[in-house]
Amino acid sequence: MRSRAWRRRLKILAEVRERFGMLIVTEAVDTEALEAIEDYADMIQIGARNMQNFSLLKRAGRSPLPVLLKRGLSATLEELLMSAEYIMSEGNRNVVLCERGVRTFADHSRNTLDLSVIPAAQKLSHLPIISDPSHGTGKRDRVAPLALASAAVGADGLIVEVHHDPDHALSDGAQSMFPDQFAAMVSQLRAILQLVHRTLSVEPPKAKVVRS
Higher pLDDT, 201 or 84: 84
Provide the pLDDT for residue 22: 87
Residues 142-167 have a mean pLDDT of: 96
Q: Which domains does the chain have, with CATH numbers?
A: 2-195 (3.20.20.70)
Average pLDDT, the chain: 92
Tens digit of each residue's pLDDT (9 = 90 or more) over 200-210: 876 655 544 44
Reported as a pLDDT band with limits 50, 70 and 90, residue 4 is confident
pLDDT of 21 reads 87
Residue 153 has pLDDT above 90, yes or no: yes
The per-residue pLDDT for 205 is 53
125: pLDDT confidence band, cut at 50, 70 and 90? very high
Question: pLDDT exceeding 90 applies to what percent of the chain?
Answer: 83
Closest CA to 206 of 4, 7, 23: 23
What whole-number distance in Å separates Cα of residue 83 and Cα of residue 92?
13
Q: For residues 33 and 27, give the distance between their C-alpha atoms in angstroms, rounded to a whole number.
A: 8
Cα 78 → chain centroid:
19
pLDDT band at 3 (very low <50, low <70, confident <90, very high): low
pLDDT at residue 200, rounded to an integer: 87
Distance CA(23)–CA(109), nearest Å, equals 29
Give the pLDDT score at 203.
Answer: 61
